[in-house]
Amino acid sequence: RRGLNTRFFGKEVLHFQRVGSTNQVALELARKGYPEGTLVVAEEQTAGRGRWRRPWLAPPGKALLFSLVLRPSLVPYRVPEVTLVTGASVARAIHEHTGLRVGIKWPNDLLYEGKKLCGILVEMEAAAEQVNYLVLGIGINVNQERDDFPPELQDTATSLRMILGEKVLRLPLLQRLLEILEDDYQEYCRDGFAPSRERWLGYQVTLGRRVRISVGGKEFSGEAAGVAEDGSLLLRLPGGDLISCNSGEVVLCRE
């Protein structure tokens, strides 16, 4: 907490050597009434989870694994905006901390030269009209080396250390990230999605590319033509029709 310049993000911190999933812990704390900004950090997760029920794997002490409790006053269908806000915040923090320009693949995978550097998983508890709480889960590959990744990920995942060729301190990166996340989140709550959307567009590497997207078990191919006001991906199908996808898994095709 020393050196952390935030108003409420990370004021309450729970640090674990080992935990199932920081998102799971944060969801439980949120349910118990822990305040907005409560931070759960772990050195190791035994049941780290990613989007689409995939596991999220990282060896102890090498990645930055954390979750934040948020209590925005928001209707559930606007939650995808928060995930885009977060992607842009993380991209900026990594740039400030390391000088690296990372790209965002819609909605919020952070890539460096096409390889995955960071994942974001937002989970929520909501009634029909109102979000009760959100958990923002962020996993950044910081000090892993190639062999730390399972063989099937070695060609598609990367870490700050692999890119920069030296170890990176995790604590100052986390502190800067919390400051930026708090600023951007407060701006989002005050001014809406438009300012973050602009920043997100500055980092994204999806638009203009040929992509495949699977949405609810169906696959579509086309050109990623734009991002709507609410953060949905607009896909131009080969026939020229434009469809809007508010969630899905994107594969960037070779040019």
Q: Which long-range contacts (CB under 8 A, 24 or more apart) does 218-222 make?
A: 220/245, 221/253
- Binding segment for ligand BTN among 27-35, 42-50, 164-172, 208-216 (CB under 6 A)? 42-50
Q: Is 143 in the site for ligand BTN (CB under 6 A)?
A: no
Q: Is 49 in the site for ligand BTN (CB under 6 A)?
A: yes
51 is in an annotated binding site: yes
Can you tell me which residue has the tokens 């992509």? 211
User: How many angstroms separate the CA atoms of 104 and 143, rounded?
Assistant: 20
- Binding segment for ligand BTN among 60-68, 94-102, 160-168, 230-238 (CB under 6 A)? 60-68
32 is in an annotated binding site: no
Q: Is 139 in the site for ligand BTN (CB under 6 A)?
A: yes
Residues 76-115 that bind ligand BTN (CB under 6 A): 109
Residue 133 makes CB contacts below 8 A (sequence gap 6+) with 27, 30, 31, 69, 70, 71, 124, 125
Tell whether the torsion through CA atoms of 68, 185, 115 and 167 is positive or negative. Answer: negative
206 is in an annotated binding site: no
CB of 130 to ligand BTN, least distance (A): 24
The answer to whether 2 and 8 are in contact (CB under 8 A) is no
Residues 1-40 that bind ligand BTN (CB under 6 A): 21-23
Q: Identify the residue among 9, 34, 56, 185 touching ligand BTN (CB under 6 A).
A: 56
User: How many angstroms separate the CA atoms of 202 and 86, rounded?
Assistant: 14
Tokens at residue 124, please? 């929520």
Residue of 138, 145, 179, 139 lying closest to 162 (CA atoms)? 145
23 is in an annotated binding site: yes
Query: Which lies closer to ligand BTN via its Cβ, residue 36 or residue 109?
Result: 109
Residues making up the annotated binding site for biotin are 21-23, 45, 49-51, 116
Residues that bind ligand BTN (CB under 6 A): 21-23, 45, 48-51, 54, 56, 65-67, 109, 119-121, 137-139
